[in-house]
Amino acid sequence: MKTDAKSLPNLKEAANRTKSPIQITSAKSKPSDALKSWAKGRKYCIYTYGCQANVRDSEYLRGYFENIGLTETEEGTEADITIFNTCAIRENAETKIYGELGRMKQPSQNNPDMIVGICGCMMQEEKPLNFIREHFPYVNLIFGTHNIDDIYPLMNEIIERKNRVISVKSIEGDVIEDMPSKRFEKYKAFVNIMYGCDKFCTYCIVPYTRGKQRSRKVEDIVKEVEELKAKGYKEVTLLGQNVNAYGKDFESPITFDVLLEKVAQTGIDRVRFMTSHPFDFQERVFEVMGNYSNIMPALHLPLQSGSSEMLKKMNRRYDRNIYLDLVQKLRKHVPDVNLTTDIIVGFPNETEEQFEETLSLVREVVYDSAFTFIFSPRPGTPAARMKDETPAEVKKARFLRLKELIDEQATYTASKFVGQIVEVLFDTVSKKDKTKISGYERHGRLVHVDGDESLIGQIKKVKITSSRTYSLMGEIIDDWRRSSKSWSN
Ligand code: 5AD
Ligand code: SF4
């Protein structure tokens, strides 16, 4: 098969940041007649890895595929086009993909028309792209995070010319509005408010794989939320790598609190947002959170390390005291806030004392839960070039100590919900037992109750009867069947 390498990734170029203004454009890709006739009666499958930005990108791809008449299947080996939307944040996210791709070998031999595609952050890096190019000859479509809107011409190239196509752009990126989209959920939606990141934390690959920070216009975001509300959506999560830097890239900058307030004023039942960065945090966000009951009392505030020296080496631009001060202010405005975080253990040459500073900060703050990671060197980032003498076993042992503390705190904070009445937006019926249903309460805790799928999409009051580390169990108390029963008694 001939390879048409239109463009290849280049991590160095991807780190360039210019002052040139961000282009806001509309989706322009149109399907050819040949593509439309190819799609007739065929199926697609998308496997999504990584963060919510990838989930949203997969929703765009679903939109493009459904618009040409492809139907979805959950099994990639049965599809005519299977896409792996990949993540590059840590090495294990990447190695997992190679195993998954292997499953496509046989089906692609049985179906010579099959398109096996790979996209997402991992394809923005030279090394994994070249590895796939060499070891997975049946992967015939490779594209990146900046060119989802090129999906039709890229597919066309394969269908009409039987070429293998590689098209990855290492650019700052633009904002493309009006891309087709088919969302995964009916009541909860992710809404991008910005793309990319300019923070360049020394361990992180994201600024290279997703380009420069580009904010969407307030009007476009508010319009999207209003449309979702009109369709019956109950919850939106505003998405960005660093939402507190929202609007900094505009010619006349605005701040995230202004956007958050406008979104709350749409009257949609629930507003969440993620992820925040302590450096860019405006205190007014806390005030807005406290003033609007439809902004959920939850904040994900990545810490990364409790040691100011480590934070400096990570290029985080805040220190231990600034972080602690922020948490204090947050709790003043939103006393019942559910506080979660991300922590990296084993950053190059982290000492025992520095690690213990993380433990002591965690003890002081008391988190509701946390994602904890062992540092994973990402080629091309400054931290990957730092000498690291700490043995892997030491890192693993620290990781387990931290995990134990976090689990202890999560168990304790969950137990405080027992006996309380919470509001749950139900979204999932248990796969194993159709009489069990779950959803999230306002703080973001997972709640399980007895109930059936008629409750999906509804917000109900639930009395919490017991707790586990990462979930709560309860009983619906405003269910009409129960109240009519008690009335007839
Ligand atoms: N190694 C380990 N964890 C990382 N994260 C980002 N990059 C790395 C890395 N190279 C973690 C950070 C971030 C979360 C999304 O992933 O904690 O907040
Ligand atoms: Fe990565 Fe830091 Fe940007 Fe978050 S803020 S995406 S950790 S560079």
**DSSP at 203:** T
**Percent with pLDDT over 90 in the chain:** 92
Supply the pLDDT for residue 4: 74
| Distance of alpha carbon 262 from alpha carbon 155, whole angstroms | 39
Supply the pLDDT for residue 431: 80
| Distance of alpha carbon 373 from alpha carbon 345, whole angstroms | 6
Q: Which of ligand 2's atoms lies nearest the C-alpha of 241?
A: 6
State how beta strands 194-195 and 214-215 pair: antiparallel
Q: What is the mean pLDDT of residues 38-63?
A: 97
Supply the pLDDT for residue 489: 35
Q: Which of ligand 1's atoms lies nearest the C-alpha of 205?
A: 7
| Distance of alpha carbon 358 from alpha carbon 344, whole angstroms | 10
Name the 3-class secondary structure at 447. strand
- For ligand 1, say whether the CB of 367 is within 6 Å of any of its atoms: no
Distance 197 CA to ligand 2 centre (A): 6
Q: Is the dihedral of CA 436, 238, 333, 363 positive or negative?
A: positive
| Distance of alpha carbon 445 from alpha carbon 472, whole angstroms | 7
- For ligand 1, say whether the CB of 89 is within 6 Å of any of its atoms: yes
Taking only the tens place, the pLDDT of each residue in 390-425 is 999 999 999 999 999 999 999 999 999 999 999 999
Q: Is 37 left (phi over 0), alpha (psi -120 to 50) or beta?
A: alpha
Residue 484 pLDDT greater than 90, yes or no: no
- For ligand 2, say whether the CB of 204 is within 6 Å of any of its atoms: yes
| Distance of alpha carbon 322 from alpha carbon 219, whole angstroms | 33
Q: Which ligand is nearest to the CA of 383?
A: 1
| Distance of alpha carbon 363 from alpha carbon 13, whole angstroms | 42
206 Cβ neighbours under 8 A, 6+ residues apart:
89, 121, 197, 241
Q: Which of ligand 2's atoms lies nearest the C-alpha of 277?
A: 5
- For ligand 2, say whether the CB of 200 is within 6 Å of any of its atoms: yes
For a mutational test of ligand 1's pocket, the pick from 303, 342, 350, 372, i.e. the residue with the most ligand atoms closer than 8 A to its C-beta, is 342
Task: Kindly report the average pLDDT of the chain as a whole number.
Answer: 95
- Least Cα distance to 341 among 396, 277, 282 occurs for 277
Taking only the tens place, the pLDDT of each residue in 264-281 is 999 999 999 999 999 999
Name the 3-class secondary structure at 57. helix
Q: Which of ligand 2's atoms lies nearest the C-alpha of 316?
A: 2
- Least Cα distance to 437 among 404, 388, 475 occurs for 475
**Closest residue by CA, ligand 1 atom 16:** 89
The model's confidence at residue 479, banded by pLDDT at 50, 70 and 90, is: low
Name the 3-class secondary structure at 202. coil
2 Cβ neighbours under 8 A, 6+ residues apart:
161, 162, 163, 164
- Least Cα distance to 345 among 336, 334, 354 occurs for 354
Q: Which ligand is nearest to the CA of 52?
A: 1
**Closest residue by CA, ligand 2 atom 2:** 201
**Closest residue by CA, ligand 1 atom 14:** 342
Taking only the tens place, the pLDDT of each residue in 425-453 is 999 998 888 899 999 999 999 999 999 99
Taking only the tens place, the pLDDT of each residue in 108-143 is 999 999 999 999 999 999 999 999 999 999 999 999
State how beta strands 43-48 and 81-86 pair: parallel
Q: pTM score, two decimals?
A: 0.95
Residue 485 pLDDT greater than 70, yes or no: no
DSSP string, 471-486: -EEEEESS-HHHHHHH
Taking only the tens place, the pLDDT of each residue in 314-339 is 999 999 999 999 999 999 999 999 99
- For ligand 1, say whether the CB of 271 is within 6 Å of any of its atoms: no
- For ligand 2, say whether the CB of 241 is within 6 Å of any of its atoms: yes
345 near 398, Cβ under 8 Å? yes
In 355-403, DSSP assigns E strands to: 369-374
Supply the pLDDT for residue 488: 38
